[in-house]
Amino acid sequence: MRRIGVILNLALALLTACTAVTPAGPPNTPSPTSGSPSTPPSQGDGADFAGQRERMVIETIERRGVSNEDVLNAMRAVPRHLFVPEAEQTRAYGDYPLPIGYGQTISQPYIVALMTELLELEEGSKVLEIGTGSGYQAAVLAHLPSIEVYTLEIIPELAESAHERLGNLGYAHVHCKQADGYFGWPEHAPFDAIIVTAAPDHVPQPLADQLAEGGRMVIPVGPPGGYQTLWKFVKQPDGELQAFNMGGVAFVPFTGGGMQESE
Ligand code: SAH
């Protein structure tokens, strides 16, 4: 039996990862024109993506309590609009998830930042992500100082396009593989942290096994298609997982044979 530890209550009763919520800012606020020129020009819509990112961080992430400077810097730096389909680029910095094809979604920016902060990564940490999707979460992780990132994606087309995108955007050092993440990546275990961005109905045992002692796993667990609970687990010296309930979330289902076979 897993020991349930301290339960932390967030001010937010319901965190939405893959369910649309009302954008934080007025939709037609003009973008500042004096932002950094380091992002590519937009597709003729006059948007300033660096300015939008800064607003996203201040209004939807910092304001909700994410305070780790490295995480905030990564959220400021990674060009989220280049991880979503072109038709969604102008909405890339909104306070909601977006479709990325194949029935999958890129999580709301706040959820990406929160989950990243909960991993408590330090320089030199090795982190495994299950559910590469667009590659955005992996890029955010790779942007943290001296973090080694491994990421698994079950849908071959997404795995391939994310790998290519990460390479093109300067994140070629992220290790990508197409595989059922239920089984983790044993060749590179143990991991200091594991982040799961699709929702299984139980914690995959191989992932628990591949977590280092003292390691953190952040994972939504619950029924597919509904709301789940976002858990942070910390692996104890005796191998048990101490559990922290971080609130309600809605993620796309964790698929693949591994989970079905284990039931
Ligand atoms: N982290 C992603 C978004 C995740 S959406 C991003 O930043 O864009 C969840 C992803 O998990 C989907 O791409 C889905 O195909 C993948 N997935 C679901 N079950 C999986 C499994 N068993 N192994 C690996 N990936 C899985």
Instruction: Specify the pLDDT at position 28.
Output: 29
* Average of per-residue pLDDT across 137-164: 98
Atom of ligand 1 nearest to the CA of 83: 8
Q: Are the C-beta atoms of 175 and 187 separated by less than 8 Å?
A: no
Tell me, in angstroms, the distance from the centre of ligand 1 to residue 176's CA: 12
What is the value of pTM for the model shown?
A: 0.86
Q: What is the pLDDT of residues 185-207, one digit of tens each?
A: 999 999 999 999 999 999 999 99
| pLDDT for the residue 260 | 82
Taking Cα atoms as reference points, which of 89, 90, 91, 92 lies closest to residue 75? Answer: 92
Task: Say if residues 231 and 219 touch (Cβ distance below 8 Å).
Answer: yes
Q: Which of 42-56, 109-123, 132-146, 158-172 bottoms out in mean pLDDT, i.e. has the lowest?
A: 42-56
3-class state of residue 199 by DSSP: strand
CA 172 to ligand 1 center in whole angstroms = 19
* Nearest atom, ligand 1, residue 112 CA: 7
67: enclosing H helix or E strand: none
Residue 47 has pLDDT above 70, yes or no: no
Residue nearest to atom 10 of ligand 1 (CA): 131
pLDDT above 80 (res 43)? no
Active-site choice (34, 38, 107, 125): 107
Q: Is 31 known to be catalytic?
A: no
Nearest to 253 by CA among 222, 218, 230: 222
| SS3 state at 159 | helix
What's residue 227's pLDDT? 95
Cβ-count burial of 79 within 10 angstroms (0-12 exposed, 13-18 middle, 19+ buried)? middle
Q: Which of 132, 205, 251 to mutate to test the pocket of ligand 1 (most atoms within 8 A of CB)?
A: 132
Residue 256 beta carbon below 6 angstroms from any ligand 1 atom: yes
Least confident of 1-5, 144-148, 211-215: 1-5
Quickly name the fold that domain 111-261 has.
Answer: Rossmann fold (3.40.50)
Tokens of 212: 């280092």
The H or E element that residue 114 is part of is: helix 109-118
pLDDT beyond 70 at 32: no
pLDDT in the model for residue 262: 80
Least confident of 19-28, 34-43, 61-70: 19-28
* Separation of CA 104 and ligand 1 centre (Å): 7
Q: Is residue 29 over pLDDT 70?
A: no
Rounded distance from Cα 131 to ligand 1 centre (Å): 3
**Lowest mean pLDDT segment, chosen from 41-55, 61-75, 113-127:** 41-55
Please tell me if the CB atom of residue 72 comes closer than 6 angstroms to any atom of ligand 1: no
pLDDT digits (tens, 9 = 90+) for 63-108: 999 999 999 999 999 999 999 999 999 999 999 999 999 999 999 9
- Closest ligand 1 atom to Cα of 182: 22
Tell me the per-residue pLDDT of 12-24, one tens digit each, with 9 for 90 and over: 333 444 332 222 3
- Asked if residue 106 has its Cβ within 6 Å of ligand 1, the reply is yes
**Cα 196 to averaged position of ligand 1 atoms, centre (Å):** 8
